[in-house]
Amino acid sequence: MRTLRLYILREHAAPFFVTLGGLTAALLVGNIIKFAELVIAKGVNLFDILRLIIYLIPYMLSFTVPMACLVAMVLAFGRLSTDYELIAMRASGVAPWRLVMPMIAVSLVLSSLLLVINDRVVPQSRLAFRQQMKAIGMKKPAAYLEAGTFIKEFEPYTLYVYQVEGQRLANVRVYEPQENGPTRTIIAERGEFEQLRSHRGVQLKLYDGTVDEWDPTRPGSFYKVTFSTYAMTLRADRPDPSTINKKLKEMTFKELRAHALKLQTQDIDTTPIALEFHRKIASSFAAAVFVLFGLALGLRLHHHERLVIYVWVLGIFISYYCFTIGMNAASLKGWLSPWLAMWMPNLVGAVIGGALVARAVRR
């Protein structure tokens, strides 16, 4: 029996890793195209882009590992079923449930590994991704800028650019809040960045514009200054990881609990924190739920049903994550507690998948 179990596990290993690699690569394609533009059009260093891609992979594993489990179950058990190997095993006195239990055990091991990744690796990689993007912005500000958005990384200034073409900026707005007066506004038709020799900031050169200055001697009055060339130094030092304000997705379980306790003392609603906490755990055990569906589909697969089965695979994956999004929205509205909202897709999936597996084993 041990030899047979090892044989079943080997049959699942190849489709699992092939599917995992293929799905991860497919999810990266959209980002790679965007990053390629930064290299080609804006001169960002290729190694900086490779680091960004590496930082994205752990986050994607929370989606690709469960999907790979589902596809691997269907492919492996489907092949055993269509090649009549499962029938031969049953004729030899091997109960189908003895083939199913090792796969369920493996799914629980994978879920436990995903739990560690979601707690430790994913928050660090997401934080590192954000820090790397800021580092790129220090070296190549035009690459960091996005047309039509406010950029607040160069304190105390806020930048707004209507058009970015390579290293050139068009229709630039710079806002500088004043401690003892209204915000100072600089408007320029064109602009460009130049790296400072110290590499601790950049110089923004603006052309053909105006500056709205507040007149301190006449409160409420402004005067406008026109310029043909205006240079200003922008600094955005790399933040200290120990002091940076982390987003919820960049926190570990311990940090989420500490953050929730702090907000509770201030009478602030902690539902988003609770949702993120339980989402990390529930999404890790999605692999076990998907294995149940994969087993049910694979054990019942016949030659003429291949296309229909793969449609079911896609439908299960989409339904699970749409259900998760819906439960998240329901919890934010106060209709469900955070833990129940995040665990509901797993509970429903486990009941349905378990029933289907039990039915397939009895056949």
Q: Are 172 and 150 in contact (CB under 8 A)?
A: no
State pLDDT tens for residues 137-193: 666 666 667 777 777 777 788 888 888 876 678 888 988 887 776 788 899 998 888
Structure tokens given for 198: 């110290």
Give the pLDDT of residue 279: 94
Measure the CA angle with vertex 167, ends 166 and 170; round to 5°: 90
* CA–CA gap between residue 121 and residue 114 (Å, rounded): 10
Give the pLDDT of residue 241: 46
3-state secondary structure 2-70: HHHHHHHHHHHHHHHHHHHHHHHHHHHHHHHHHHHHHHHHHCCCHHHHHHHHHHHHHHHHHHHHHHHHH
State pLDDT tens for residues 186-196: 999 988 887 77
Measure the CA angle with vertex 7, ends 6 and 13; round to 5°: 85
Structure tokens given for 45: 């260093």
In Å, how far are 27, 125, 132, 343 from 54, measured between CA atoms?
A: 13, 8, 11, 29
* CA–CA gap between residue 51 and residue 39 (Å, rounded): 13
Structure tokens given for 320: 């699970």
Structure tokens given for 356: 């289907």
Q: Are 328 and 339 in contact (CB under 8 A)?
A: no
Task: Catalogue the E-assigned strands of the chain.
Answer: 150-151, 158-165, 168-178, 181-195, 202-214, 222-234
Q: What is the pLDDT along the chain (363 residues), one digit of tens a residue?
A: 677 777 778 888 888 999 999 999 988 887 887 777 677 666 677 888 888 899 999 999 988 999 999 988 888 877 777 766 776 777 777 766 777 888 888 899 999 999 999 999 999 999 888 888 777 766 666 666 777 777 777 778 888 888 887 667 888 898 888 777 678 889 999 888 877 766 566 778 899 999 887 766 666 667 788 888 988 887 655 544 444 578 888 899 999 999 899 888 888 888 999 999 999 999 999 999 999 998 888 877 665 566 677 788 888 989 999 999 999 999 988 899 999 999 999 999 999 999 988 887 776
Mean pLDDT of the chain: 82
Structure tokens given for 91: 């004729």
Q: Are 256 and 248 in contact (CB under 8 A)?
A: yes
In sequence order, the 6+-apart residues with CB closer than 8 A to the CB of 232 are: 157, 174, 186, 203, 204, 206
Measure the CA angle with vertex 129, ends 136 and 38; round to 5°: 40
In Å, how far are 22, 149, 305, 359 from 78, measured between CA atoms?
A: 20, 50, 10, 16
Distance of CA 117 to the CA centre of its chain: 13
Task: Find out whether the peptide bond into 141 is cis, omega within 30 degrees of 0.
Answer: no
Phi and psi, residue 93, nearest 5°: 95, 10
Whole-prediction pTM value?
A: 0.75
